[in-house]
Amino acid sequence: MESFFDVIVVGGGPAGLLAARTAAEKGLEVLLVERKKKISKVKRTCCASFYLESNYMSETTQIEGKKLIFTKNDFSVNYSGSFWPIKEKYGFSPGGYKWHMARFESEDYGKDTPLSLVLDKEALIEGLLKEVKNLGVKVMNASKAKKIENTEKGVKVEIHKEGQYLPIEGKKAIIADGVNSHMIESLGLNKNRKVKGSRCMFVEYVLEDCDIPYPNAVLNFTGGAICKFGHILLWPNAEGLPRVLGFNSIESSKHIKYPIATIDYFINESSFASWFKHAKIIEKTGGSLVPREAIAEPCLGNILAISDAAAFIEVENQGAMMCGFQAGNAVFDELNGSDGFNNYVDWWKSSFEFNNPKLLKGMNAIPAFNVGGFNDEDIDYLFSLIDGETLYGTCNQYKSAAAIWIAIDNHSETIKRDKPNLFKKVKKVMALISD
C-alpha cells in the first residue's frame, strides 16, 4: 500500500463515503478507513428516512427514478434499494388521544408526495462503496483509527488492524467517524463542547407478523402508561416491516436494559400490545449518544471534521452526504491553493439549523413531554384538544415537535379556563421554543 495519500477519510458511513467519492472523482489519492469488517452492515440504529422537505438543512431533495438528488448542493447519489413512503405522523397519548400530521401541498412537492421515504441504508452504503472502489479509493475495513495528528508534511493517522498498529500519513484528513467520535476526542475538540441534555440510549427491533393499522406512518407514543420507562417510536423499514424504537435519557452507558424494558413493556403489556400478539423479532440494533453542541469551526490544521462527528446530535443521512460532498471538494480546493476548509466552515455554519441559535430552540420542544413534568392525565388532556386536527406535515426535527406545542397553545384560553396550573406549564414550554 502507498504510504502517503492526498486524503485519509476516517469512517465509512454516508459522510465518509461521499467525501471519498468526491475526492476520488477529482483525481485525488484517497484512503478510506473503516472499523467494521462488513462496511455496509448497519449495527447502529438509524431509521434511514430521506426527507422530501424544501429547505430542510438548506437543501431541497428530490427523487428521480432511484437517484437521490440534492438540488442546492448540486450532486446526486445512485440508490438501488427499496423505498417505503411515509405519508403521515401520529402521536398517541395514554388514553388514546392523538395528534396527526400530513403533507400539505407545497411549491417544491406536489400534494401526493410523501413526507419522507424510508431507505435501505445497507443498500445505500453498498452502492456508494462500489462506486468508491471503482474510482480507485483504497478501502481498509476492520481498521480502527485510534489517533490522528497534524504533522509537518500533513497528517498522521494511527490505525489498529488485526492486532497491529499502522501509522499512515497523508496531506489532509477528513474525520467522519460519526457521533461520539473517537477522533474528535483524540484531538481534544470535545473539551469546550457543552453537553446539552443527558446521554441517550436506544434500541430498535425490526418485527414481523404485527397488526399495525398505520402502514405508512411514523407513530410516537407518550406517557408512562404506554412507555413506562422511556419513549417509543414505531415506523416501517424500507420493506414496510415495522420497527419499534425505545429510547431513554440516562447517565450511565451500562443501562441499555432500559430501552429494552421500554420496548418489552410497550409490545407486551401496554394498551397497544394487541398489535404485537404474534410478532417475531427479526433484527436488533442499538446505540447511544451524548448530545454535545456542534463544533463551530470543525477544522484543525490539515484535518476537517464533518457530519455527525462535529454536529449537535445528528445531521441525518442526507446532511451526512452533503457534508461528505462539500468536504471532498474542500480538500481538493485546499490542495490546489484555494481556501477550501474556510469555505467548508462557512457552508457548515449556514446550512445546519443547530448552528443557528434561533432555529436550535425548536429542539427544546422534543423532550418537553418527558421532562417537563406532564403526567399522563395532562398529556391526555392536551392531545384531546388537537385530536381531529391535521397539522402541517413536517419531519424537520427543528419544527416538528414545536408544531405540536404551537397547535396546543392555540387552545390556551381553554387550557387557562379548565386547568390553570397546566396552562402555566404549557407557557413554560412555549417560552423555551419561541423567540
Ligand X SMILES: Cc1cc2nc3c(=O)[nH]c(=O)nc-3n(C[C@H](O)[C@H](O)[C@H](O)COP(=O)(O)OP(=O)(O)OC[C@H]3O[C@@H](n4cnc5c(N)ncnc54)[C@H](O)[C@@H]3O)c2cc1C
β-pairing verdict for 391-392 and 303-305: unpaired
Q: CB-hemisphere CA count at 13 Å for 264? A: 6
Nearer to ligand X, 60 or 378 (CB): 60
Instruction: Provide the residue count of the chain.
Output: 435
Closest-approach residue to ligand X (CB): 13
Contact between 53 and ligand X per CB under 6 A: no
Q: Residue 128 interacts with ligand X (CB under 6 A)?
A: no
Q: Which residue has the cell 483525481?
A: 27
Q: What angle do CA 143, 148, 150 make, to 5 degrees?
A: 145
Q: Say which residues have a Cβ less than 8 Å from residue 6's Cβ, sequence separation at least 6.
A: 23, 28, 29, 30, 170, 171, 172, 331, 335
Least Å distance, CB 332 to ligand X, is 19
Does the protein bind ligand X through residue 242 (CB under 6 A)?
A: no
287 lies in the site for ligand X, by CB under 6 A:
yes
Instruction: Please name the helix (run of DSSP H) or strand (run of DSSP E) that holds residue 426, with its range, or none.
Output: helix 420-433
Cell 484531538, located at residue: 187
307 lies in the binding site for ligand X (CB under 6 A): yes
Burial class (CB in 10 A: 0-12, 13-18, 19+), 430: middle
Contact track, ligand X, 163-182, x by CB under 6 A: -------------xxx---x
Indicate the helix (H) or strand (E) that contains 70: strand 67-70
Binding of ligand X by 354 (CB under 6 A): no
CB closer to ligand X out of 37 and 194:
37
| By CB under 6 A, residue 308 contacts ligand X | yes
Q: Which residue number, 140 or 408, has a Cβ lying nearer to ligand X? A: 140
Binding-site member from 88, 314, 377, 387 for ligand X (CB under 6 A): 314
Quick one: which of 22, 40, 49, 220 contacts ligand X (CB under 6 A)? 49
Nearer to ligand X, 36 or 72 (CB): 36
**Edge-to-edge strand list for the sheet holding 61-64:** 61-64, 67-70, 75-78
Q: Which stretch binds ligand X (CB under 6 A): 45-53, 64-72, 94-102, 190-198?
A: 45-53
Q: State the residues that interact with ligand X by CB under 6 A.
A: 10-16, 33-36, 44-49, 144-145, 176-178, 182, 202, 245, 287, 307-308, 314-318, 320
